[in-house]
A and B are shown apart, each in its own frame.
Chain A
Amino acid sequence: MIEISNLHKSYKMGANSLHVLKGINFKVAEGELLSIMGSSGSGKSTLLNILGMLDEADEGSYILDGVHIKNLSEKLAAKYRNKFLGFIFQSFNLIGYKNALDNVALPLYYQGMARGERMDRAMSYLEKVGLADWASHLPNELSGGQKQRVAIARALASDPKVLLADEPTGALDTKTSYEVMELIQEINDEGRTILVVTHEHDIAQMTKRIVNLKDGVIIEDTLISQNRAAQNV
């Protein structure tokens, strides 16, 4: 599903340049639930942004579902993001003046789906995350866990190949974190590929594979036996 080889990225900070990714190589197969770990500054968020086509690598190749992601125009990048990827952010990033249902329906709007179908689809995803009753509520009327569930429903709405989660539990308490991870595991059980960036070990243990990043290189890449979140709740 994802093939990355020799990926480099550096940021210019005034006169200095900060080399963040120093040659990353890894593959992700379909249906994997993988966590990328590392302390802050290890380059894990940068990697995720490049994977999400929110940022571009300086060097190296990135193949997503057989498509070379390189030198994309804004237009094409937008199209691929919509088609291939679903994002889950630490700070949820819901649109404040839209209710839960409209937020979930937004990627479908950008796909050009007709209104009625869009709303039906969005509703079914809200049901899936258990928030059907909250469809008409605005984000600021929801708890953190509920917001993240709406964000997950939104990420799923366009039926993407890969879900990218950037510290999805970073802003949540332990109990809510586990609930969110349980949902992520369930979605993975249905066969969807999911990448989770985290620095919390217990969260990483709930995935099936851990990629450990340090100073811009992968120092460890191990398959683990998954901890089911449901048992911890």
Chain B
Amino acid sequence: MFDLDRWDEIFETIRKNKLRTFLTGLSVASGIFILVILLGIGEGMRNGIAREFEQDASNLIFVFPGVTSKEHNGLNPGRRIQLKNEDYDQILRLYGEKLDKASSVYQNWGQVLNYGKESGSYDLRGTFPAYQELENISLTSGRFIDFNDLSNSEKTMVIGNRLKLDLFKEEDAIGKIVQVSGVNFKVVGVYTDPGGEREETRAVIPITTAQKAFGGGNNINRLYLTLKPEDNFDAAVAASSQFSEELEQFLKMRHTIAPDDDSAIRINNYLENAKRFFTLMDMIRLFFWGVGICTIIAGVVGVSNIMLIIVKERTREIGIRKALGAQPISIIGMILHESIFVTAIAGFLGLIFSLALLEFVGPLIETQYIYNPTVNFTVAINTVVILVLAGALAGFFPAWRAARIRPINALRDE
């Protein structure tokens, strides 16, 4: 290894065979380069999707009842499940510590709203102040419903921007009275929703008012819940899934629903959906790994091919060297040394080049789905080491064969 003459010989052969060396190096360097770039893009896609989900926050758990599909405890299938205020209160009592925000909704579909000559049919949602954060809506003017409205069953109303435009045109809506089935509501706020126009055709009122004014009794239509944040995404997904599970069991028990009845209580867990995306991402990353490894294998095959050619081409020279007294081990050493040297240098060049590309070009990528592509340095280094070892192994067999060539045969080789 530290034999200066050996190094001298290697540099000499490399100098005399620039193209051959360049091609060997290129196949190795491009293999490493492609692998690192693929891994980087895989990581970038994962980061990109993670960012998408972070933006919407969306650790929302959304519960709505349906119709039973299975007979249970003597109750027939086809029974409509109705959630009650008590369900909501009980959930708060049992899981209050885990919950960050919670709100129930009593909804009236297709209510006719009047303002002056204008009227239209809109959905009316009775809910709690927490609904604002849960639905991720923001106010363009006025205020949202508050606990005061709730406890006094005030007839206050927050309307979506679309609804405001329909009824009020350019007029200021705050403080105006809107009639719903003969009941007067005072508009206290106007909101906008990132979900789009459809979400802005609703009117939000206190749930207490909604239940009293529209004969809801203590019925509720759905629940919006979020959990307290966890340290990391995986913990959050785990906590969220576990909570959904418990919540489902609890509600099924309360409403006498078969444990395996999937249609009676529906729980839409946004985090679990996100998790599904990430699982898909992991599959894509696995695929990238596969492609990368195949590239490396192609590189190794390339190296061994070139090594075979080198040995073939140098058969005569090897014969001369043997005639002059070269030991077999020195022949193997000479060929292996060159092969390892070239693969190592080329491998690290490919690595450095690809890492530099990720480092400097990565942050400039302005697409929604790729964000901050990086690669694990240890993984990258290991890949180079594996490639060098594979290259050495690929070089060893031709070298070993070369060392066993009988000098007389080698010298005849024209």
A interface residues (Cβ-Cβ under 8 A, vs B): 49, 52, 54-55, 74-75, 78-79, 81-83, 87, 89, 93-98, 106-107, 109-111, 115, 154, 158
Contact = CB atoms under 8 A, between A and B. Distances in A.
Contacts of A107: 324-325
B328 A78 contact: yes
B407 interface: yes
Contacts of B212: none
Given A49-B408, A55-B406, A110-B330, A81 B323 contact: yes
Nearest to B13: A97
A98 B325 contact: no
B329 to A, nearest CB: 8
Contacts of A110: 321, 324-327, 330
Given A95-B320, A115-B4, A54 B407 contact: yes
Given A55-B408, A93-B411, A106-B321, A98 B12 contact: yes
Nearest to A79: B325
Contacts of A95: 317, 320-321
Nearest to A97: B16
Contact of B323 (A87, A98, A115): A87
Given A110-B330, A115-B4, A115-B5, A82 B406 contact: no
Contact of B325 (A49, A78, A94): A78
Contact of A82 (B4, B13, B320, B324): B324
Classify the secondary structure of A's interface with B.
helix
A213 to B, nearest CB: 18
B411 A154 contact: no
A93 B407 CA distance: 12
A207 to B, nearest CB: 22
Contacts of A158: 324-325
Contacts, number: 64
B327 A52 contact: no
A95 B320 CA distance: 8
Given A52-B323, A93-B316, A110-B321, 19 more contacts: A54-B406, A54-B407, A54-B408, A55-B406, A55-B408, A74-B327, A74-B328, A78-B327, A81-B323, A81-B324, A83-B325, A93-B411, A95-B321, A98-B12, A109-B5, A110-B324, A110-B325, A110-B330, A158-B325
B51 interface: no
Nearest to A84: B325
Contacts of B406: 54-55
B283 to A, nearest CB: 51
B285 interface: no
B404 interface: yes
Interface in B299-349: 316-317, 319-330
14 contacts: A54-B406, A74-B327, A78-B322, A81-B322, A82-B325, A87-B324, A93-B319, A95-B320, A98-B12, A107-B325, A110-B325, A110-B330, A115-B5, A154-B324
A110 B3 CA distance: 13
A229 to B, nearest CB: 26
B269 to A, nearest CB: 70
Contacts of A75: 327-329
Given A87-B323, A95-B320, A54 B411 contact: yes
Nearest to B12: A97
A97 B21 CA distance: 15
Contacts of B408: 49, 54-55
Contacts of A87: 323-324
A89 B411 contact: yes
Contacts of A89: 411
Nearest to B17: A97
6 tightest A-B CB contacts, nearest first: A82-B325, A97-B16, A54-B408, A110-B325, A107-B324, A54-B407
Contacts of B317: 95-96
A158 B406 CA distance: 21
A96 B319 CA distance: 13
A114 to B, nearest CB: 9
B404 A93 contact: no
Contact of A74 (B5, B12, B319, B404): B404
Contacts of A96: 317
A98 B329 CA distance: 21
A83 B406 CA distance: 18
Contacts of B13: 97
Contacts of B5: 109, 115
A75 B13 CA distance: 24
Contacts of A93: 316, 319-320, 323, 411
A164 to B, nearest CB: 10
A106 B324 CA distance: 7
Interface in B358-414: 403-404, 406-408, 411
Contacts of B16: 97
Contacts of A115: 4-5
Contacts of B321: 95, 106, 110
A58 to B, nearest CB: 15
Interface centre among B12, B325, B407, B411 (most CB of A within 10 A): B325
B402 to A, nearest CB: 12
B413 to A, nearest CB: 11
Nearest to A110: B325
A82 B326 CA distance: 8
B198 to A, nearest CB: 77
A78 B404 CA distance: 12
A140 to B, nearest CB: 12
Given A95-B320, A97-B13, A78 B411 contact: no
